Amino acid sequence: MDKYIIEGGRRLFGSVEAQSAKNSVLPLLAASILTGERVTIRKMPRITDALCMAQILRELGADVRLEGEDVTVESADACSHRLSSALTKELRSSVFMLGSLLTRFHRAAIAYPGGCDIGLRPIDIHLNALKRLGVDISERDGYILCECDRLRGAEIPIDFPSVGATENILLAAVMAEGRTVVQGAAKEPEIIDLQNFLNAMGARVRGAGSDVIEIEGVSSLGGVDYTPVKDRIEAGTFLIACAVCGGEVEVKGVRAENIGMLLHKLRENGCKIHIKNDKIKIASGGRLRCNRRIETMPFPGFPTDLQAQITALNASCEGCALIVENLFETRYKYVPELQKMGADIEVKGRHALVRGVERLHGASVVSGDLRGGAALVLAALGAEGTSEVLDLSHIDRGYSDLEGKLKSLGADIRRVRV
């Protein structure tokens, strides 16, 4: 197990480029088995979630090669429709494989997916949508068993704009007979990226980014060479890091409209934001002001994946902030660790009241989930004294070389083996 040793109090300066989006790369990898031809995904971040998805594809019989920054998938010889519980329990995004496997083999067997322990995250929306496409679903011995003679297009209303369910529907409907219309679809930029990826393979999908997506089934898909969208959550993490520490940082590669609500909140804190094309520059000096209220919402609202980081920022701002987590019911598990650093945060259900303190102090804390772990790193960067952030396995799921990128901005952070 590794840990970070962080000496806080250093201001950050410089430029950093965002990696390809974790939440885009995973469904793109799942989509790669929809064709027997070669699929190349450029600049795949070496995060453990992506490597786990690559191993899942190998277990299905695909030839997966990591070549420099890229990954190639050739699945002509893929023959298995069953995913082992060992890998699926490590990766919640393995649920995307349902749609792809059903399209490829008309059957799928998958253990209940895992990932971070941040709430129940039921997959009923996924399963109900697949049933509308003609899939018979049963459960046995901890596995979800899906089977169909053929996939048929359908009208699919979604009660809640689930990103994963929307993407799974696209993967299952892209070669279904006839037309599928998704109503109440999620609007995240990663949905648009999946649409673009599938269309580059020869699919006929339109409407991504709106709440209605239309899919005209095609008979086959071809290979593709594709570069995913940049990671707005990683970009947001670096912007918040600068806000916490002070300084001036430029984040490259991310469109401002993809993190518009975060930029609004950072301006509210007192940061200066300058945008030019796909470059976002933030300047932070002096003690910032707390945000009065932040509520996580589906895109284009404030992203739940930045809630922990913005809470860490508010912990040392002037005033009080009310944070409302509307998507995951146990996403405040990182708060006791922030409290070890002197944060004054009171949690009641989905609400967290943050009373800003003058400054946090160093402590030994444990990362319990991906975004909560990132929040602890940011808090440590701005704290007085030395901190240890233990158990980096969660952080490695979504951030590639986080310590190296922060070092390039002037942070005093070391990764050591425990």
Ordered DSSP codes for 201-230: TT-EEE-BTBSEEEEE--S----EEE-PPB
Residue type (1 letter), 46: R
Mutual orientation of helices 22-31 and 232-245 as an angle, nearest 10°?
170
Q: CB-based contacts of 310: which residues, under 8 Å, 6+ apart?
A: 240, 262, 265, 291, 294, 302, 323
Confirm whether 116 is a catalytic residue: yes
Answer whether 269's CB lies under 8 Å from 317's CB: yes
Phi and psi, residue 296, nearest 5°: -75, 140
Answer whether 172's CB lies under 8 Å from 103's CB: yes
Among the options 116, 148, 271, 290, which is catalytic? Answer: 116
Answer whether 169's CB lies under 8 Å from 99's CB: yes
Q: What is the pLDDT of residue 143?
A: 82
Whether residue 122 has a cis bond before it, omega within 30° of 0: no
Domain span(s) for CATH 3.65.10.10 in the chain: 2-19+230-417, 22-226
What superfamily in CATH does domain 2-19+230-417 come from?
Enolpyruvate transferase domain (3.65.10.10)
Predicted TM-score (pTM) of this structure: 0.95
Answer whether 274's CB lies under 8 Å from 247's CB: no
Which secondary structure element, helix H or strand E, spans residue 197, and what is its range?
helix 189-200
The structure tokens listed for 202 are 């020869």
Candidates 34, 154, 30, 183; CA nearest to 92 is: 30
Q: What is the pLDDT of residue 122?
A: 64
Query: What does the alpha-carbon distance between residue 239 and residue 248 come to, in Å, rounded to a whole number?
Result: 9
Query: What does the alpha-carbon distance between residue 123 and residue 125 come to, in Å, rounded to a whole number?
Result: 5
159 DSSP 8-state letter:
S
Q: What is the pLDDT of residue 113?
A: 64
Answer whether 344's CB lies under 8 Å from 350's CB: no
Query: What does the alpha-carbon distance between residue 383 and residue 309 come to, in Å, rounded to a whole number?
Result: 14
Answer whether 345's CB lies under 8 Å from 357's CB: no
What are the start-end ranges of the H helices in 36-120? 48-59, 85-88, 97-105
Candidates 47, 39, 38; CA nearest to 20 is: 47
Candidates 100, 177, 187, 95; CA nearest to 144 is: 95
DSSP strand pairing (351-355 vs 344-348): antiparallel
Q: CB-based contacts of 286: which residues, under 8 Å, 6+ apart?
A: 246, 270
Q: Which residues pair with 344 in a beta bridge?
A: 355
96 DSSP 8-state letter:
G
The single residue listed with the structure tokens 């918040």 is: 240
Q: CB-based contacts of 191: which residues, under 8 Å, 6+ apart?
A: 163, 166, 167, 170, 185, 208, 209, 213
Q: What is the pLDDT of residue 88?
A: 72
Q: What is the pLDDT of residue 286?
A: 87
Query: What does the alpha-carbon distance between residue 302 and residue 373 come to, in Å, rounded to a whole number?
Result: 19
Answer whether 281's CB lies under 8 Å from 307's CB: no
Q: What is the pLDDT of residue 84?
A: 75
CA distance between the termini of the chain: 6
Q: What is the pLDDT of residue 97?
A: 86
Residue type (1 letter), 214: E
Residues of the chain with pLDDT under 50: 115-121
Report the CATH architecture of 22-226. Alpha-beta prism (3.65)
Q: What is the pLDDT of residue 92?
A: 64
Candidates 153, 170, 160, 42; CA nearest to 96 is: 170
Query: What does the alpha-carbon distance between residue 174 and residue 172 come to, in Å, rounded to a whole number?
Result: 6
Query: What does the alpha-carbon distance between residue 301 and residue 399 come to, in Å, rounded to a whole number?
Result: 22
152 DSSP 8-state letter:
B
